[in-house]
Amino acid sequence: MALIVHKYGGTSMGSTERIRNVAKRVAKWWRAGHQMVVVPSAMSGETNRLLALAKDLMPDARSPEALRELDMIASTGEQVSVGLLSLALQAEGLQAVSYAGWQVPIKTDSAYTKARISAIDDARVRADLAAGKVVIVTGFQGIDGDGHITTLGRGGSDTSAVAVAAAMKADECLIYTDVDGVYTTDPRIVPEARRLSSISFEEMLEMASLGSKVLQIRSVEFAGKYRVPLRVLSSFTPWDIDLDEEAKSGTLITYEEDDKMEQAVVSGIAFNRDEAKVTVLGVPDRPGIAYQILGAVAEANIDVDVIIQNVSNDGKTDFSFTVPRSDYGRVLDLLKASVAPAVGASSVIGDNRICKVSIVGIGMKSHVGVAAKMFRSLSEEGINIQMISTSEIKTSVVIDEKYMELAVRALHRAFELDGQPT
């Protein structure tokens, strides 16, 4: 008997018919003798619907008081899902009980709309499992130290599931979604994308952080920290397929160095349209300026990604960086109102129609010329590169958003990723 955590995404929970299918699949695993904890997302479109209602009443919710209410609103989608799934399981003849994040509790910090899980008390869940129940826990939400409901950022149910699996030392965490695994790139953009039967944790971490939304980045961080056995697989296979076959399907996240003889140099292409670029023009080139600019941005709890500072000419330089697109207005206001005057900058400009395209691969550690090949391939398509950032196993470029699909397809081809499943 094993302790298994299943996570089902929005599309997998998209209708009562699909929820019934989820229940039948979970029941199959339970009847095979496993203890089951299930973490579902809100039904597809529901979180967007809820946030649109909020936006209608307050187009630009920014204050902590307003963000608190966004979490109050958005978290309800998952509460509906757990109740429905529990009913479907009871209708299947199983004992099932659902819990909201606060009832477990899943404790988080107080960063509304992007809270981090700090601790999970699993006593209640364990007692139910011991009593033979299937336990269903809301994805995406938790409770902070003062008892306020929080949410974990878009796609956060992945993180809830992996965190529950880590806290309970589950034997496996299976992320069921609307594709049958992790692909070389988003198969919706490149139909020739290949499913990977396994991907190293390091590569998955980069792919997720660079925009592949198949797994939320924090779920991968949790998985790495606690070595959670993690697999991404399809919820659209017939629920009654052989359990052993299902358990081996999809993509396994691996933690040991891959011993494949022919390791691909580039394993995947990620892209992200959720960023915006801001530039502070004419800042004095002296110690402390980067800190003054980025320190203020960090204090506003805004993540900064690619950063570029030009060489100085006549003692002045330009300083550019990217931020989440949802923070674009806020960062421009902040820079214009207080940071630029404080550092003596001449002006602040921005562009929120950019995207970041990245190549990822452990093989890049030991190969030279990979970035050059990327730049050549983009130049052949006439795509201008605005910013570049590299690390050991990835190279990212910031380009005009309108060339994103062209760039991803060209790179997928250039690095010979098109083809048959491995």
- Interaction between residue 11 and ligand ADP (CB under 6 A): yes
343 binds, among Mg ion, ligand ASP, ligand ADP, none (CB under 5 to 8 A by kind): none
- Short-list 222, 40, 226, 52, CA closest to 140: 40
148 binds, among Mg ion, ligand ADP, ligand ASP, none (CB under 5 to 8 A by kind): none
- Interaction between residue 181 and Mg ion (CB under 5 A): no
Alpha carbons 209 and 220: distance in angstroms, whole number: 9
Alpha carbons 101 and 160: distance in angstroms, whole number: 9
Binding mask 27-66 for ligand ASP (x = CB under 6 A): --------------xx----x-------------------
Alpha carbons 172 and 316: distance in angstroms, whole number: 54
186 binds, among Mg ion, ligand ASP, ligand ADP, none (CB under 5 to 8 A by kind): ligand ADP
Say how many residues touch ligand ADP, by CB under 6 A: 19
Alpha carbons 152 and 156: distance in angstroms, whole number: 5
Candidate ranges 5-13, 42-50, 278-286, 385-393; the one touching Mg ion (CB under 5 A) = 5-13
Six-digit token string for 249: 């399907």
Residue that has been written with the tokens 């011991």 in this structure:
130
Minimal CB distance to ligand ASP: which residue? 157
Candidate list 155, 268, 350, 363; residue touching ligand ASP; CB under 6 A: 155
Given a contact cutoff of 8 angstroms between Cβ atoms, the answer to whether 194 and 87 are in contact is no
Alpha carbons 399 and 141: distance in angstroms, whole number: 34
**For the chain, what is the largest distance between any 2 Cα atoms, rounded to a whole number of angstroms?**
77
- Interaction between residue 155 and Mg ion (CB under 5 A): yes
Residue number with CB closer to ligand ASP (11 or 377): 11
Contacts of 26 (CB under 8 A, 6+ apart): 6, 36, 38, 85, 89, 94, 134
Q: How far is the CB of 192 from Mg ion (least distance, A)?
A: 23
Alpha carbons 229 and 209: distance in angstroms, whole number: 20
- Interaction between residue 156 and ligand ASP (CB under 6 A): yes
Six-digit token string for 129: 């499992």
Site for Mg ion in 250-289 (CB under 5 A): none
Residue number with CB closer to ligand ASP (140 or 415): 140
- What amino acid is encoded at 250 in this protein? G
- Short-list 341, 351, 281, CA closest to 312: 281
Beta strand pairing status for 134-137 and 117-120?
Answer: unpaired
Candidate ranges 12-20, 151-159, 320-328, 341-349; the one touching Mg ion (CB under 5 A) = 151-159
- Interaction between residue 139 and ligand ADP (CB under 6 A): no
- Short-list 100, 57, 109, 105, CA closest to 77: 100
Binding mask 109-148 for ligand ASP (x = CB under 6 A): ------------------------------xx--------
Binding mask 201-220 for ligand ADP (x = CB under 6 A): -----------xxx------
Candidate list 126, 154, 316, 373; residue touching ligand ASP; CB under 6 A: 154
Binding mask 164-203 for ligand ADP (x = CB under 6 A): -------------xxx--xx-xxxx---------------
What CA–CA distances, in Å, run from 199 to 6, 168, 208, 332?
Answer: 20, 24, 12, 38
What is the three-class DSSP state of 139?
coil
- Interaction between residue 41 and ligand ADP (CB under 6 A): yes
Six-digit token string for 2: 């094993």
76 binds, among ligand ASP, ligand ADP, Mg ion, none (CB under 5 to 8 A by kind): none
Minimal CB distance to ligand ADP: which residue? 9
Given a contact cutoff of 8 angstroms between Cβ atoms, the answer to whether 228 and 220 are in contact is no
Residue that has been written with the tokens 């190969």 in this structure:
367
Q: How far is the CB of 139 from ligand ASP (least distance, A)?
A: 5
- Interaction between residue 174 and ligand ASP (CB under 6 A): no
Q: How far is the CB of 117 from ligand ASP (least distance, A)?
A: 13
Residue number with CB closer to ligand ADP (42 or 340): 42
Query: Sign of the C-alpha dihedral, residues 143, 145, 148, 154?
Result: negative
Candidate ranges 59-67, 155-163, 252-260, 333-341; the one touching ligand ASP (CB under 6 A) = 155-163
What CA–CA distances, in Å, run from 252 to 172, 173, 232?
Answer: 11, 10, 7
The separation between CA 217 and the C-alpha centre of its own chain, rounded to angstroms, equals 4
Q: Which residues bind Mg ion (CB under 5 A)?
A: 9, 155
Q: Which residues bind ligand ADP (CB under 6 A)?
A: 9-12, 41, 155, 177-179, 182-183, 185-188, 212-214, 268
Q: Which residues bind ligand ASP (CB under 6 A)?
A: 9-10, 41-42, 47, 77, 139-140, 154-158
